[in-house]
Amino acid sequence: FTRHGPRASSLLARKESGMNATEERITGAIVRSYFEKLQQHLAIDVAIVGAGPSGLVAARDLARAGLRVALFESKLAPGGGIWGGGMLFNEIVVQADALPILDDFGIRHRPADAPGLHTADAVEVASGLIFGALQAGATLFNAIRVEDIVFHEDRIAGVVIQWTPIARLQMHVDPLVVMARAVVDGTGHPSEIVAMATRKAGVRIDTPTGDILGERPMWVDQGEASTVEQTRRLYPGLYACGMAANNVGGGFRMGPIFGGMLKSGRKLARLIVEDLRD
Protein backbone atom coordinates (compact mmCIF):
# COMPACT_ATOMS: atom_id res chain seq x y z
CA PHE A 1 0.00 0.00 0.00
CA THR A 2 1.36 3.46 -0.89
CA ARG A 3 0.49 6.99 0.07
CA HIS A 4 -1.02 7.36 -3.45
CA GLY A 5 -3.86 4.98 -2.51
CA PRO A 6 -4.92 1.44 -3.51
CA ARG A 7 -5.11 2.03 -7.33
CA ALA A 8 -1.59 3.39 -7.54
CA SER A 9 -0.40 0.52 -5.41
CA SER A 10 -1.99 -2.11 -7.67
CA LEU A 11 -0.47 -0.45 -10.75
CA LEU A 12 2.89 -0.52 -8.98
CA ALA A 13 2.36 -4.20 -8.13
CA ARG A 14 1.56 -4.95 -11.80
CA LYS A 15 4.69 -3.11 -12.87
CA GLU A 16 6.91 -4.83 -10.34
CA SER A 17 5.57 -8.28 -11.21
CA GLY A 18 6.20 -7.59 -14.91
CA MET A 19 2.51 -7.76 -15.88
CA ASN A 20 1.65 -5.84 -19.03
CA ALA A 21 5.32 -5.95 -19.90
CA THR A 22 6.44 -6.69 -23.46
CA GLU A 23 6.65 -10.37 -22.55
CA GLU A 24 2.96 -10.45 -21.65
CA ARG A 25 1.98 -8.52 -24.75
CA ILE A 26 3.88 -10.91 -27.05
CA THR A 27 2.14 -13.93 -25.54
CA GLY A 28 -1.24 -12.18 -25.65
CA ALA A 29 -0.75 -11.26 -29.32
CA ILE A 30 0.05 -14.85 -30.27
CA VAL A 31 -2.80 -16.36 -28.27
CA ARG A 32 -5.42 -13.92 -29.63
CA SER A 33 -4.16 -14.16 -33.20
CA TYR A 34 -4.00 -17.99 -33.22
CA PHE A 35 -7.42 -18.43 -31.67
CA GLU A 36 -8.97 -15.98 -34.11
CA LYS A 37 -7.45 -18.06 -36.94
CA LEU A 38 -8.69 -21.31 -35.44
CA GLN A 39 -12.16 -19.93 -34.75
CA GLN A 40 -12.50 -18.82 -38.38
CA HIS A 41 -11.83 -22.39 -39.49
CA LEU A 42 -14.15 -24.47 -37.34
CA ALA A 43 -16.57 -24.92 -40.27
CA ILE A 44 -14.98 -24.53 -43.67
CA ASP A 45 -15.43 -25.37 -47.34
CA VAL A 46 -12.41 -27.63 -47.78
CA ALA A 47 -10.19 -29.44 -45.26
CA ILE A 48 -7.01 -30.76 -46.89
CA VAL A 49 -5.19 -33.37 -44.86
CA GLY A 50 -1.47 -33.26 -45.61
CA ALA A 51 0.55 -30.35 -46.96
CA GLY A 52 2.55 -32.19 -49.62
CA PRO A 53 2.88 -30.86 -53.18
CA SER A 54 -0.56 -31.98 -54.37
CA GLY A 55 -2.35 -30.59 -51.30
CA LEU A 56 -0.50 -27.27 -51.51
CA VAL A 57 -1.34 -26.72 -55.19
CA ALA A 58 -4.98 -27.62 -54.51
CA ALA A 59 -5.07 -25.25 -51.53
CA ARG A 60 -3.80 -22.33 -53.59
CA ASP A 61 -6.29 -22.89 -56.41
CA LEU A 62 -9.22 -23.43 -54.02
CA ALA A 63 -8.39 -20.30 -52.04
CA ARG A 64 -8.08 -18.32 -55.26
CA ALA A 65 -11.56 -19.54 -56.21
CA GLY A 66 -12.83 -17.87 -53.05
CA LEU A 67 -13.33 -21.00 -50.92
CA ARG A 68 -12.39 -21.20 -47.25
CA VAL A 69 -9.66 -23.81 -47.15
CA ALA A 70 -7.43 -25.14 -44.38
CA LEU A 71 -4.50 -27.55 -44.58
CA PHE A 72 -3.79 -29.80 -41.61
CA GLU A 73 -0.21 -31.06 -41.51
CA SER A 74 1.02 -33.47 -38.87
CA LYS A 75 4.66 -32.43 -39.16
CA LEU A 76 6.13 -29.13 -38.00
CA ALA A 77 7.35 -28.36 -41.52
CA PRO A 78 4.86 -28.62 -44.37
CA GLY A 79 6.08 -29.73 -47.81
CA GLY A 80 5.79 -33.52 -47.49
CA GLY A 81 8.19 -35.49 -49.63
CA ILE A 82 9.62 -32.58 -51.60
CA TRP A 83 12.45 -31.41 -49.35
CA GLY A 84 14.70 -34.43 -49.80
CA GLY A 85 14.51 -34.60 -53.62
CA GLY A 86 15.78 -38.00 -54.72
CA MET A 87 17.56 -39.91 -51.95
CA LEU A 88 18.46 -36.60 -50.24
CA PHE A 89 19.93 -35.08 -53.43
CA ASN A 90 17.75 -32.01 -53.04
CA GLU A 91 16.70 -31.58 -56.66
CA ILE A 92 13.42 -32.75 -58.16
CA VAL A 93 12.36 -33.45 -61.74
CA VAL A 94 9.24 -31.96 -63.37
CA GLN A 95 7.88 -32.64 -66.85
CA ALA A 96 7.40 -29.79 -69.33
CA ASP A 97 3.60 -29.89 -69.16
CA ALA A 98 3.62 -29.17 -65.40
CA LEU A 99 5.98 -26.17 -65.62
CA PRO A 100 3.10 -23.65 -65.83
CA ILE A 101 2.18 -24.65 -62.26
CA LEU A 102 5.72 -23.92 -61.02
CA ASP A 103 5.65 -20.65 -62.98
CA ASP A 104 2.36 -19.74 -61.33
CA PHE A 105 4.09 -19.99 -57.93
CA GLY A 106 7.21 -18.13 -59.19
CA ILE A 107 9.38 -21.24 -58.66
CA ARG A 108 12.41 -21.45 -60.95
CA HIS A 109 13.38 -24.50 -63.02
CA ARG A 110 16.03 -25.53 -65.56
CA PRO A 111 15.94 -27.88 -68.55
CA ALA A 112 17.61 -31.21 -67.75
CA ASP A 113 19.79 -32.87 -70.38
CA ALA A 114 16.94 -35.29 -71.05
CA PRO A 115 14.10 -34.45 -73.43
CA GLY A 116 10.97 -33.04 -71.80
CA LEU A 117 12.42 -33.08 -68.27
CA HIS A 118 13.38 -30.15 -66.07
CA THR A 119 14.95 -29.88 -62.62
CA ALA A 120 14.15 -27.56 -59.74
CA ASP A 121 15.73 -27.00 -56.33
CA ALA A 122 13.69 -29.10 -53.88
CA VAL A 123 13.93 -26.50 -51.11
CA GLU A 124 12.75 -23.73 -53.44
CA VAL A 125 9.85 -25.91 -54.59
CA ALA A 126 8.78 -26.83 -51.04
CA SER A 127 9.05 -23.30 -49.65
CA GLY A 128 7.55 -21.77 -52.82
CA LEU A 129 4.48 -24.01 -52.76
CA ILE A 130 3.90 -23.31 -49.07
CA PHE A 131 4.29 -19.55 -49.53
CA GLY A 132 2.05 -19.55 -52.62
CA ALA A 133 -0.74 -21.45 -50.91
CA LEU A 134 -0.73 -19.15 -47.89
CA GLN A 135 -0.47 -15.97 -49.93
CA ALA A 136 -3.52 -17.06 -51.94
CA GLY A 137 -5.54 -17.21 -48.71
CA ALA A 138 -5.31 -20.85 -47.58
CA THR A 139 -4.61 -21.38 -43.88
CA LEU A 140 -2.16 -23.98 -42.65
CA PHE A 141 -2.32 -25.65 -39.26
CA ASN A 142 0.93 -27.49 -38.69
CA ALA A 143 1.84 -30.01 -35.99
CA ILE A 144 -1.82 -31.07 -36.07
CA ARG A 145 -2.68 -34.61 -37.05
CA VAL A 146 -6.04 -35.69 -38.44
CA GLU A 147 -6.78 -38.79 -36.43
CA ASP A 148 -10.33 -39.49 -37.54
CA ILE A 149 -13.16 -38.33 -39.80
CA VAL A 150 -16.68 -37.07 -39.07
CA PHE A 151 -19.30 -39.31 -40.69
CA HIS A 152 -22.88 -38.01 -40.98
CA GLU A 153 -25.69 -39.71 -42.88
CA ASP A 154 -23.58 -41.27 -45.62
CA ARG A 155 -21.29 -38.30 -46.01
CA ILE A 156 -17.79 -37.42 -44.81
CA ALA A 157 -18.50 -34.18 -42.98
CA GLY A 158 -15.27 -33.12 -41.29
CA VAL A 159 -11.98 -34.03 -39.65
CA VAL A 160 -11.04 -34.93 -36.09
CA ILE A 161 -7.83 -33.15 -35.09
CA GLN A 162 -5.21 -33.58 -32.40
CA TRP A 163 -1.77 -32.06 -31.68
CA THR A 164 0.85 -34.38 -33.14
CA PRO A 165 2.94 -34.44 -29.91
CA ILE A 166 -0.12 -35.58 -27.95
CA ALA A 167 -0.65 -38.43 -30.43
CA ARG A 168 3.07 -39.33 -30.38
CA LEU A 169 3.19 -39.37 -26.55
CA GLN A 170 0.00 -41.46 -26.58
CA MET A 171 -1.60 -39.13 -24.04
CA HIS A 172 -5.23 -39.95 -23.39
CA VAL A 173 -6.66 -36.60 -24.54
CA ASP A 174 -9.85 -36.17 -26.55
CA PRO A 175 -9.56 -34.39 -29.90
CA LEU A 176 -11.46 -31.47 -31.46
CA VAL A 177 -13.34 -31.29 -34.75
CA VAL A 178 -13.37 -29.14 -37.88
CA MET A 179 -16.43 -29.49 -40.11
CA ALA A 180 -15.93 -29.28 -43.87
CA ARG A 181 -18.04 -29.54 -47.03
CA ALA A 182 -15.17 -31.42 -48.69
CA VAL A 183 -12.41 -33.46 -47.03
CA VAL A 184 -9.29 -34.18 -49.09
CA ASP A 185 -6.90 -37.05 -48.47
CA GLY A 186 -3.50 -35.58 -49.32
CA THR A 187 -1.61 -37.81 -46.89
CA GLY A 188 0.60 -39.41 -49.54
CA HIS A 189 1.45 -43.12 -49.81
CA PRO A 190 -0.75 -44.44 -46.95
CA SER A 191 -3.96 -42.58 -47.96
CA GLU A 192 -4.79 -42.45 -44.25
CA ILE A 193 -8.10 -40.63 -44.57
CA VAL A 194 -9.58 -42.92 -47.19
CA ALA A 195 -8.41 -45.86 -45.07
CA MET A 196 -10.34 -44.40 -42.11
CA ALA A 197 -13.44 -44.08 -44.30
CA THR A 198 -13.27 -47.70 -45.51
CA ARG A 199 -12.20 -49.28 -42.19
CA LYS A 200 -14.05 -47.20 -39.60
CA ALA A 201 -17.08 -45.90 -41.49
CA GLY A 202 -17.30 -49.05 -43.61
CA VAL A 203 -18.03 -47.08 -46.76
CA ARG A 204 -17.57 -48.45 -50.28
CA ILE A 205 -15.51 -45.96 -52.23
CA ASP A 206 -15.59 -45.41 -56.00
CA THR A 207 -13.10 -48.15 -57.05
CA PRO A 208 -13.78 -51.53 -58.70
CA THR A 209 -13.64 -53.32 -55.32
CA GLY A 210 -15.12 -50.50 -53.23
CA ASP A 211 -11.86 -50.49 -51.26
CA ILE A 212 -8.28 -49.19 -51.57
CA LEU A 213 -6.50 -51.07 -54.37
CA GLY A 214 -2.95 -50.36 -53.10
CA GLU A 215 0.18 -48.89 -54.67
CA ARG A 216 2.18 -50.94 -57.19
CA PRO A 217 5.97 -50.89 -57.85
CA MET A 218 7.80 -48.27 -59.87
CA TRP A 219 6.78 -47.48 -63.46
CA VAL A 220 7.21 -43.75 -63.87
CA ASP A 221 5.06 -42.97 -66.91
CA GLN A 222 2.16 -45.14 -65.73
CA GLY A 223 2.39 -43.79 -62.16
CA GLU A 224 2.41 -40.17 -63.26
CA ALA A 225 -0.62 -40.67 -65.51
CA SER A 226 -2.61 -42.63 -62.93
CA THR A 227 -1.93 -40.07 -60.17
CA VAL A 228 -3.81 -37.46 -62.17
CA GLU A 229 -6.43 -39.90 -63.47
CA GLN A 230 -7.23 -41.23 -59.98
CA THR A 231 -7.64 -37.74 -58.52
CA ARG A 232 -11.39 -37.59 -57.93
CA ARG A 233 -14.29 -37.76 -55.55
CA LEU A 234 -14.40 -41.19 -53.89
CA TYR A 235 -17.48 -40.80 -51.72
CA PRO A 236 -19.78 -37.89 -50.83
CA GLY A 237 -17.57 -35.31 -49.12
CA LEU A 238 -14.36 -37.33 -49.68
CA TYR A 239 -11.65 -36.70 -52.28
CA ALA A 240 -8.03 -37.82 -52.75
CA CYS A 241 -5.07 -36.24 -54.51
CA GLY A 242 -1.38 -37.03 -55.12
CA MET A 243 0.11 -40.30 -53.89
CA ALA A 244 -3.01 -40.95 -51.80
CA ALA A 245 -5.16 -40.97 -54.96
CA ASN A 246 -2.59 -43.19 -56.67
CA ASN A 247 -2.61 -45.66 -53.75
CA VAL A 248 -6.40 -45.76 -53.68
CA GLY A 249 -6.56 -46.42 -57.42
CA GLY A 250 -3.80 -49.06 -57.51
CA GLY A 251 -1.31 -46.98 -59.53
CA PHE A 252 2.44 -47.49 -59.96
CA ARG A 253 4.94 -45.37 -58.02
CA MET A 254 7.19 -42.93 -59.83
CA GLY A 255 10.04 -41.70 -57.58
CA PRO A 256 11.28 -38.09 -57.44
CA ILE A 257 9.32 -36.68 -60.40
CA PHE A 258 6.60 -34.27 -59.34
CA GLY A 259 4.58 -33.18 -62.39
CA GLY A 260 1.82 -35.66 -61.57
CA MET A 261 1.53 -34.37 -57.98
CA LEU A 262 1.27 -30.75 -59.14
CA LYS A 263 -1.29 -31.56 -61.84
CA SER A 264 -3.26 -33.71 -59.40
CA GLY A 265 -3.61 -30.73 -57.02
CA ARG A 266 -4.78 -28.50 -59.85
CA LYS A 267 -7.32 -31.07 -61.09
CA LEU A 268 -8.65 -31.66 -57.58
CA ALA A 269 -9.29 -27.96 -57.00
CA ARG A 270 -11.22 -27.75 -60.27
CA LEU A 271 -13.41 -30.74 -59.31
CA ILE A 272 -14.18 -29.41 -55.85
CA VAL A 273 -15.01 -25.93 -57.10
CA GLU A 274 -17.50 -27.51 -59.55
CA ASP A 275 -19.01 -29.80 -56.89
CA LEU A 276 -19.39 -27.12 -54.23
CA ARG A 277 -21.05 -24.76 -56.68
CA ASP A 278 -23.89 -27.28 -57.25
Listing DSSP states for 189-219 in one string gives: TT-HHHHHHHHTS-PPPSSTTSS----EEE-
Dist CA 26 CA 9 (whole Å): 25
Q: Indicate the residue among 11 and 207 with the shorter CB distance to ligand 48H.
A: 207
For the bound state, the minimum distance from the C-beta of residue 268 to ligand 48H, rounded and expressed in Å, comes to 10
For the bound state, the minimum distance from the C-beta of residue 39 to ligand 48H, rounded and expressed in Å, comes to 20
Q: Indicate the residue among 13 and 171 with the shorter CB distance to ligand 48H.
A: 171
For the bound state, the minimum distance from the C-beta of residue 8 to ligand 48H, rounded and expressed in Å, comes to 52
> What are the CA-CA distances from residue 193 to residues 37, 97, 159 (Å)?
24, 29, 9
> What are the CA-CA distances from residue 79 to residues 64, 73, 133, 139, 246 (Å)?
20, 9, 11, 14, 18
Dist CA 161 CA 158 (whole Å): 10
Q: List CB contacts of 216: < 8 A, sequence separation 6 or more.
A: 250, 251, 252, 253
The number of residues making up the chain comes to 278
For the bound state, the minimum distance from the C-beta of residue 192 to ligand 48H, rounded and expressed in Å, comes to 5
Q: Indicate the residue among 158 and 242 with the shorter CB distance to ligand 48H.
A: 242
For the bound state, the minimum distance from the C-beta of residue 117 to ligand 48H, rounded and expressed in Å, comes to 15
Q: Indicate the residue among 53 and 128 with the shorter CB distance to ligand 48H.
A: 53
Q: Indicate the residue among 190 and 236 with the shorter CB distance to ligand 48H.
A: 190
For the bound state, the minimum distance from the C-beta of residue 61 to ligand 48H, rounded and expressed in Å, comes to 14
Interface residue list for ligand 48H (CB under 6 A) = 49-55, 72-75, 80-82, 145-146, 186-188, 192, 242-244, 253-255, 261
Q: Indicate the residue among 51 and 205 with the shorter CB distance to ligand 48H.
A: 51
Three-state secondary structure call for residue 102: helix
Q: Cβ-count burial of 167 within 10 angstroms (0-12 exposed, 13-18 middle, 19+ buried)?
A: middle
